[in-house]
Amino acid sequence: MKLVSGTNNLPLSKEISKYLKTKLTNSNIRRFADSEVYIEINENMRGSEVFVIQGTSYPANDNIMELLICIDALRRASAKNITAVLPYFGYARQDRKVTPRSPISAKLVANLITHAGANRVLTLDLHANQIQGFFDIPVDNLFASPIFVKHIKKNIKSRNLICVAPDVGGVERARAIGKRLNAELAIIDKRRSGPGKSEVMNVIGSVKGKTCIIIDDLVDSGGTICNAADALIQKGAKEVFAYVVHAVLSKDAVQKIQQSKIKQFIVTNSIDNQLKTKKTKIKIVSIAPLLAEAINRISESKSVSKLFK
């Protein structure tokens, strides 16, 4: 097994390599003056099972190109199998045509990764499950829910819990975590007026006097989840916690979360936010053990789905 890390989230790559007790492959990734990416793999890759760890968060386009070039370098180095490990899959929100003559960019990115030479994709909490079908190669889509459940049980002592889906699309995710916690389910009915803008219309379910746990896969500008917390408090919720897999945290999102009525905001390190979240109510939990175990199982041809049973 060989682990190759891109530059997008090096701390996560190092955690994964430490868990697997193997060193990251010696590589040299640099950019020319016009921002072209150049990659050198300084170890023999012939016949190896290679895992390329590279998320595609900001700057998304640069990181996608780095991933593609790295896969191409490994293919030309005669690697036996190449697995693209994407802690965060960018462009996942563009999974369908929402207006006439608009692209399905998630499908385009899937094609690029496949044609670059990847044999498999390992990712975490895709924004839409159907994106797995955009690839013509095997896709293992992991879930952060076991990590969240463990953290909730350890840190939130209230027995009167209710899991909240911030929109209809998040019901399945919130229900799955609620089932493990023996908690009820509530849904935020919202209307989206434009990209990054939403308005809470109603709260479906009784939240009065309860500890609410908002479960979401992604937070970008932070407006939706902060508005949801306001609506829950207005409906009589005792306190509000938020658990989010991918913390994009664009623009003034951190400031919004700090000023919101959310008591604690838990995110994973699928996107490197260490500098942004220092001395804030945003706390980070690591997905390195989950990704490392999945990588180990893939390399040994074992079941990945058993991680969630």
Tokens describing residue 246? 């991918």
Structure tokens at 102: 């608009």
Distance CA 194, CA 171 (A): 21
Catalytic residue among 2, 80, 150, 190: 190
**Phi, psi (rounded to 5 degrees) for 28:** -125, 110
Angle at 253 between CA 165 and CA 256, to 5 degrees: 85
Active site residue 190: yes
Judge contact between 146 and 308, C-beta under 8 A: yes
Catalytic residue list: 190
